[in-house]
Structure 1
């Protein structure tokens, strides 16, 4: 290695050194950590280029340049194939995780990047960051198509901007409203007539202009992680006058009397928190509530929401939306039709629509990647991407993760986990796959619903009813006793596989803080817990979660699961 010039071009020369070296170590002969790294490469029989900063005239200038380039001032400072690895701990960790040799043996190709990720949501960013941390050259493409009323956002995807995060905060606002009423029963002198202020709660969304410049980039591998967006139904007036949840979370004004079309978890959550904020809410249901979830639990949720004052119109489909009056909010008449042919009509200030998701995979495949082998890659009927257990499409170097892939949970943590594991498999010799079965999730309806694993319907379909034991009970949270809330609306259920020592394959709970309850049990189910494990666990008293340690009534027995008092 020629000595580095002492002129003002130190940073440029350091950059050249990095680009021209397969393995480059900036070191000092007096540093024991540098010695460890050099000994490691020697034991691996890897030829390296070493620059001893205490032996060259302008070592301090080089060290300053390295700090500007990497943010790291200390030595050793290790680079592999032009990518910054880090110091001693980073190098030893890469070796222990069996990815050091993969990084070294990875030859620079004619591709612009090792990996291109299409989609800057939770899953896409997780995959991109993981691959970059593993030393790969990564690019992330992201674009949010504005809704008809102009709602859009930057990186982060639906969850951060118009999904899980704002939804949970609005749900909390609704809970606080209910708690104000309950507080009177606990001795608090809460004034009557307290109203919610939408303007103080609303989220601010910033939109950025797009330059529209067309670029072409190549990569060894591609990950499709575009997620999904609402698509307006083919109903007159829907696109002109209805909004989606994307728009709802950034409305500058209170939506007023609202119609939610559809009965997905997003629709029920929106309807629930709007009702909790004191608004008049109606939900138009085309067929069933919470498709894909346990239908017994869905039925209980629907009953509770109706008891809270939410109106359900079902089964009914919208036929047209007519504007009656401008304003913030405006006024609209919605026409629909019940399954028996009876016409439905009513007036609303806001119509929130979320019927089907628009998949962009086939468009992006053509316009961004120039892949010509799309055979069997996507289901043309529903637009989802078809992948195998390794998230690989029928195109060898194209993968899919997150909401766009077929028959997998459409959940942010699932996309993140799948993205990270896929990046590790692409960048190292890891073989770990994402577990799509034992996934915990929560629906933040007024009565929260947490679940893990199989619904009762899916468990029967897979294993047969004769092989299942279902334990269940109603329960009443202690804090509900003082305001005398319903003692038999909260519910717990375990679905157990008899041939495998009653292994728990389905966990379901309805009640306050269901998400907090469910997360802990997800760990137990991940390691294959049985009903006996639940029975052997001592519960925390008095909590809702302890009910799962005392379940003894089975559906097979026919005994009543309702609470009968102390």
Structure 2
């Protein structure tokens, strides 16, 4: 055994000597090594390879606290955007079935939802995407390594396999795109032992049943929304406000609709502990901070959606001097995604001050690859990036919130045009449209440049994508009014808004 250990030690020394001599000679195994196989890392690696660089990408999924694992593609593909949107669609179909009867469809028998059927279909689709990513990397001559990567020095990456086997790679440039993972509360006994996160919910083989969702982020609201939509008893526990960082009025409309839709809310509430009873159900104890009283209730599942933490701790960043933000532990980056170490770059959710959105990571990754290949000097533009919250009533937005516009420009220097509208689809179905709303925030003077646009309503993401192009091009309110709408659509209502908040007039759309 001692002899075997000496051989292993000697082999490691040979490996490190190999790395050292290669670096001295200025030669590396790869032009670029990307640590992280999420959407951004894959986009960066494929783009770089297409431009002639020799590229390797390392990706390794640490199981969640509940043991959930998944394949190549990162958060968005496996435990984020893709399965979330599909389960949101399942919920929308449930609402559509109810509407269908008003439209003349004869639906016999009781309509109910089967979690297992949905989950299997969603998971199969995700697995097909995993396989597709592997094929794409192979086709584009990117070396894929299922290894957990960390830095040994500014040009050297150490990869460790599931079995503990070590691989050393050297690279001219290194890119970190490891994203983040959901957090558990650290001060709630039983939270980890008995709770799940968004890393688990989409891979459950059976229905979560009566569920408590703790959190107020878009992840929390989206999960609570689709769980309610497929018929599960769902409660959302919110400490203070929902959708922090988004427009406050719009956030209120979203939660108002969710309450009317059937999601229960425990406002101003802080969980204290989670206990598993002998019957197998989970008893949650919490405090209402407004009333100062304690409550208890039982649930089949508790889903924690209380924020995400960057995957930066195990990267060995301190060894090479990569600067982290003390508060967030994210990597501090420049406008060109550079870190404090010249040839090490980072982008996506791991980077401080960047929007945690898949499309921004993909775009930033591609642009970085082009710069590293010497093909372009273009930087990522993080302004006016549109996004949508896929709650039962979708909320799409681009640009500034009303609060941020007031902070930057002053309340007297902005004009807010708004309208409550009723989607045509809601009329025959007799659905409540009181939270369907449009807000266009503009500069008050000059050409009235549009600063922000917000919409709650069906297909908000599809509507907002087109208008986001307008904001990228510096669209003004006058240009918006000159745009002819497509009738009859929800998007049409955006180009018709003409009533200002300042006027105090009734903003409800009543006709053409």
* TM-score bracket for this pair, using the shorter chain length: 0.7 to 0.9
Q: C-alpha distance in 1, partners of 2:409/2:191?
A: 43
Shift of 1:191: 2.5
* 1:463 corresponds to 2:409: yes
Deviations along 1:428-472, one digit per CA (max 9) or x if unpaired, are 151211111111111100000111111111111122222211110
Residues in 2 aligned to 1:172 and 1:487: alpha-carbon distance in whole angstroms: 19
Q: Distance in 2 between matches of 1:252 and 1:551?
A: 46
Give how far 1:311 is off: 0.9
1:318 aligns with 2:271: yes
Find the counterpart in structure 1 of residue 293 from structure 2.
342
Q: Which of 141, 150, 155 is matched with 2:58 structurally? A: 141
Q: Secondary structure at the match of 2:166?
A: coil
2:305 to 354, 357, 379: 354
Corresponding residue for residue 478 of structure 2: 532
Find the partner of 2:316 among 362, 365, 368.
365
State how far apart, in whole Å, the 1-side matches of 2:354 and 2:382 are: 7
Tell which structure's C-alpha radius of gyration is larger. 1
Contact 1:224 1:361 in 2 (8 A): no
Partner of 1:453: 399
Provide the residue aligned with 2:434 in structure 1: 488
CA contact (8 A) 1:488 1:562 kept: no
Superposition deviation, residue 180 in structure 1? 0.7
Distance between the aligned counterparts of 2:252 and 2:217, measured in 1?
13
**CA distance in 2 between partners of 1:378 and 1:298 (Å):** 31
Q: Which residue does 1:286 correspond to in 2?
A: 239
Match of 1:242 in 2: 195
Distance (whole Å) between structure 2 residues aligned to residue 565 and residue 127 of structure 1: 49
The alpha-carbon deviation at position 372 of structure 1 amounts to 2.3
- Kindly indicate whether residue 226 of structure 2 is the aligned counterpart of residue 226 of structure 1: no
Deviations 1:363-407 (A, max 9, x none): 2034xxx84223xx1112221211111111112112111111122
Structure 1 residue aligned with 2:214, among 247, 261, 265? 261
**Structure 2 match to 1:47:** none
The offset of 1:224, in angstroms, is 1.2
Q: What is the CA–CA distance in structure 2 between the aligned matches of 1:354 and 1:303, rounded to whole Å? A: 20
Of residues 56, 67, 74 in structure 2, which corresponds to 1:157? 74
Deviation at 1:109, TM superposition (A): 3.9
CA RMSD across the alignment? 1.8
Map of 2:487 onto structure 1: 541
Q: How does 1:12-23 map to 2 (within 5 A)?
A: none
Which of 39, 49, 56 pairs up with 1:132? Answer: 49
Query: For structure 1, which runs of at least 5 residues remain unmatched after alignment?
Result: 1-107
Structure 2 gaps, min length 5: 1-24, 131-145, 147-160
TM-score (norm 2): 0.85
Equivalent residues, number: 451
Alpha-carbon distance in 1 for matches of 2:433, 2:183: 40
1:415 aligns with 2:369: no
- How far apart, in 2, do the equivalents of 1:471 and 1:415 lie? 32
Aligned 8 A contact 2:320 2:341 in 1: no
Secondary structure of 1:321's match? strand
Spell out, residue by residue over 1:174-233, the C-alpha distance to the aligned partner (whole angstroms, 9 max, x if none): 011001111111111113421001110004377999222122222121111111101211
Q: Does the Cα contact within 8 Å between 1:476 and 1:489 map onto a contact in 2?
A: no
2:169 to 217, 234, 237: 217
SS in 1 for 2:162: coil
The equivalent of 2:497 in structure 1 is 551
Aligned to 1:88: none
Partner of 2:208, secondary structure, is: coil
Please state how far the C-alpha of 1:320 moved relative to its aligned partner: 0.8
Alignment of 1:487-506 (within 5 A): 487-506=433-452
- Matches of 1:401 and 1:536 in 2, distance apart? 38
Counterpart of 1:172 (choices 55, 80, 89) is 89
Q: Distance in 2 between matches of 1:125 and 1:477?
A: 39
Shift of 1:123: 0.4
Measure, in 1, the Cα distance between the counterparts of 2:313 and 2:104: 60
Per-residue CA distance 1:70-106 (angstroms, 9 max, x = gap): xxxxxxxxxxxxxxxxxxxxxxxxxxxxxxxxxxxxx
Shift of 1:124: 0.6
Q: What is the CA–CA distance in structure 2 between the aligned matches of 1:371 and 1:401, rounded to whole Å?
A: 20
Query: Which SS does the other structure have where 2:429 is aligned?
Result: coil
Whether the 8 Å CA contact 2:310–2:349 is kept in 1: the answer is no
> Is the deviation greater in 431-440 or in 117-126?
431-440
Normalising by structure 1, we get a TM-score of 0.77
Q: Shift of the alpha carbon at 1:550?
A: 0.9
Q: Does 1:436 align with 2:388?
A: no
Q: Per-residue CA shift, 1:541-561, capped at 9, x if unaligned? A: 111100111110011111121
Q: Aligned residue for 1:400?
A: 346
User: Mapping of 1:379-394 within 5 angstroms?
Assistant: 379-394=325-340
Q: What secondary structure sits across from 1:460 in the alignment?
A: helix
